[in-house]
Amino acid sequence: MIRIYINGASGKMGQSLSKLIESDDQFQSVSENDFSLSDVVVDFSNPISTLKILKRCLEINVPIVIGTTGFNDDEINEIKNAGSKIPILLAANFSLGVSSLKKSLEYFIKTLDQDMSCLIEETHHIEKLDQPSGTAIELKNLIDSIDKNNNIKTIKIKSVRKKDVFGLHKVTFHNQNKTSYFMHEALSREVFAKGALFSSNAIMKMKPKVYKLKDILN
C-alpha cells in the first residue's frame, strides 16, 4: 500500500484526490500528524505552501508530485535544486489526454511545410488565479522548442475564466490556406486526480531529479 500525504487536501483538487484514494485499496491517505510515515507527497496548493512542504520532503527524504502552478523563476530554481536530492515530478496538468495532445502537436509541427500563426486558448474555472494557465505556457514553450524551421510566426495565448469549467485547452494553427485545431477538455477533476495517483506511484521508483509527466509515460 502506498501512503500519500496530500498538501492542499482542503482544496478542490485535494478533495477530488482524497475521494479517489478512498476508493482504491492500493493507496492510503496520511494525515499531517503522521506525515513522516508517507511514502510520497502530492501537492496541489500554492507556491508558498509548495516550497514549505518541499523543505519537509528534503528533511525526511520523500519524493513529491507537484501540481501547483504560478511559480516565479526563483521558486522554480529552488525546486530544481531540490531535485538533486529527491525525485520530483513537476507538472501543470496531470491529464494523460493533454500528454497525447502534446504528442500530436509535436508531430504536426515537425511535419509542417508552411508558415502559420498560432493561438492557444485556455478556459478554466473562475477561482483559478494564474493567467495564463501553466498548461498553456507549457504548450507555448513546446511549440517554440519544436519549431526548428521557424514556421510558426506568432503565438498568442488567450485566457478565459468561467463558472463550472474544469479545464479546456484549444490550439489553433491558421494561414490563408488552412486552419488546424487541437483540443482537450477535462469534464471532471477526476481526470487530473487519476493522473496524479499514477504519477505518485511512478515517482517513487525514480532517481533524484525533476521530472515532467512525459518522462514517466515513456
Burial of 142 (0-12, 13-18, 19+ CB in 10 A): middle
Full 3-state SS string of 50-115: HHHHHHHHHHHCCCEEECCCCCCHHHHHHHHHHCCCCEEEECCCCCHHHHHHHHHHHHHHHCCCCC
User: Which cell numbers in the block locate residue 149?
Assistant: 524551421
Say whether 169 is catalytic: no
Say whether 124 is catalytic: yes
Phi, psi of 194 (to 5 degrees): -65, -40
Residues 19, 103, 124, 209: which is the catalytic one? 124
The CA distance from 70 to 47, in Å, is 7
Residues 85, 103, 128, 209: which is the catalytic one? 128
Question: Among all residues, which ones are annotated catalytic?
Answer: 124, 128
